[in-house]
Chains A and B, each alone.
Chain A
Amino acid sequence: MSMATTSPHTGLFQNRTKPSFPFSSSSFKFKPTSIKCATQLHTQAPPLTHSQDRVFNFAAGPATLPENVLLRAQSELYNWHGSGMSVMEMSHRGKEFLSIIQKAESDLRALLQIPPEYSVLFLQGGATSQFAAVPLNLCSSPDSAVDYVVTGSWSDKAAKEAQKYCKPTVIWSGKPEKYTKIPSFHDLEQNNNSGYLHICANETIHGVEFKDYPVPKSGVLVADMSSNFCSKPVDVSRFGVIYAGAQKNVGPSGVTIVIIRKDLIGNAQGVTPVMFDYKIHDENDSLYNTPPCYGIYMCGLVFEDLLEQGGLGEVERRNKKKAEILYSAIDGSKGFYKCPVEKSVRSLMNVPFTLEKSELEGEFIKEAAKEKMVQLKGHRSVGGMRASIYNAMPLAGVEKLVAFMKDFQARHA
């Protein structure tokens, strides 16, 4: 098959169309004053572009960002919308940055259709900080019981951290089967008085993804969605808390988004550091201290881009197509490539695979890198390869990888 090539000047044809959405906030009006460079009007959503000088970056996080977002950020890094300063230089309490963070929140609410009884927080410290913040805020005492389903390394770390602040129980662990499965929800033996049930919606390292969510017997459902956030629609109302590091699907590292039902706010333990107290951040609109301003701005550009693509339903369709192409190539290789994850819970975002001839793995990775497909090495705790194909990885990148995989197999069969 022929590979579509993009020219270095593709970016010049980007034209931002802004479909109207019924969810836009009436509390402010976003009035961009940037100067747009466009010589051609597209009525369709702009495709994910790929300049010739860029690689296809399969890193797990930080990860590839939409090229048009990067180009837009670049164009206004020095002087944002005629403000006379960079976003990096703005007071977080000035009207410019307030408009940026409010629009980011508004667009995120539109994307995920977040109900009004939830707060959206833009925090720091990564998902790892939330491993502590969740029990510190949701468990009124260190004696509170909570349940953890452990489907991979990240939910395991979350359960371990929770031991400092409450009494967590691992009610199911995929470790015996090397984290290739998700439990049947009917078989889960949940604690009757659990404060919450915690899951990791997508395990970045092992490539295991919840396609549906369990219902807690007591308490609320809490999910770490770091590596599949905004990759598909989610019924937020099924959760008490969703938290996600931004650096896979929605922005650069350094921003952590927490979506929390308001009635869960305000019960933090006495030893909770002020920066881990959801009430402090909620009451101060994430501006209690200086937030990671530039990262939030970048997330805002990504949210805007996702809306322009047609929202998360459309995004999910693209992600499914990309994942299908790659999984089909693996499954159709007659064993040359293997993905160990149970098919019903294979991740749309992180695709781990090994070679039947493991001695060829180093060569595979090196050759792919020469073909400008980088960061395919699997996590150090797992080995093999891992292709992270988040929202911003264009279909062309997956197609190129698949073509390479077939060629590599042909040359080493």
Chain B
Amino acid sequence: MRHILSVLLENESGALARVVGLFAQRGYNIDSLTVAATEDPTISRLTLVTRGDDQVIEQITKQLHKLIEVVKLADLSESAHIERELMMVKVKTTAEQREEVKRCADIFRGQIIDITASTYTIQVVGTSDKLEAFIQALNGTQILETVRSGVSGISRGERTLSL
């Protein structure tokens, strides 16, 4: 089962290494990981996508809690939440393909953020599924490179993860 864990972490050097090290030491999976400071610069927020059965996820959350620098954490997938990921795709575009690629980007509400005579760079934002669907939709176009931010997530409604 896929879970999205949100973690508030002391924004100190070594704290992220401790989180990542924990996953490596105990053999847990990381599908994606994003981290940046919050509006409070002493706190970082980390979103981590992992997989495991209930017992494994319970151990992961307990082990994360044990890390001294972890202030709070929540499993976003336990309740209604919003998740977003940003992807940039650079594609090779021949003259006859350009219109089709543009249309495809529009359908996915993507934006073309850089162009050259032979390439488009498209930015798409959405759930991980949507980003994968976009790549599928580019079928026939030569992808030069892609970069994905990893998932960020937030709870719906009044529920918050804050100090």
Q: Is B truly associated with A? A: no
